[in-house]
Amino acid sequence: MADDSECTAVKLKSKQEEVFEVEKEVACRSITVKNMVEDTGLDAPVPLPMVDSKILIKVIEYCKYHHRAEAEALPEDDKSVWDKDFVRVDDETLFNLILAANYLDIKSLLDLTCKTVADEIKGKTPEEIRTRFNIKNDFTPEEEEEVKRENAWCEER
């Protein structure tokens, strides 16, 4: 029996009720979508109420590229360059991609986006991190000192 999944499309419905038609093999790179398609079939759009249209477009772009890269056996270097460029986005988009990758259960995208944030944090002081990500310091000076004392072992190198 021939596998017709390549020519079958999955409809994905974003938070804004926008519907995107995507090749089944591409859409099923998401374990969440794959499970929903297996459970409910292809007749109705797969509702993704936690994913914005703008972010879903980016996720689909990522899945399409990696599906094609796998099919064409592209070198890891090419994929790495593409991935680095893909995550060159504003913070809001990056954090929404992390949430979407987690919700959609796309491990490679979750790893890529989290690594991007980790690389941004690496080697920075807590104050530099707060400034970089616009995080308000809600510790009192006493609480901050206590945290520093409790975690002094982190600073020992």
Q: In whole angstroms, what is the distance from residue 130 CA to residue 121 CA?
A: 10
The per-residue pLDDT for 7 is 58
pLDDT tens, position by position, 73-95: 999 999 999 999 999 999 999 99
pLDDT of residue 125: 85
Give the single-character DSSP code of 29.
T
Beta strands 19-23 and 9-13, pairing class: antiparallel
Strands (E), 15-150: 19-23, 46-47
pTM assigned to the model: 0.83
The pLDDT assigned to 150 comes to 87
Which segments of the chain have a pLDDT < 50? 1-6
Q: What is the rounded CA–CA span in Å between residue 141 and residue 37?
A: 52
- pLDDT tens readout for residues 126-137: 889 888 888 888
Q: How high is the pLDDT of residue 82?
A: 97
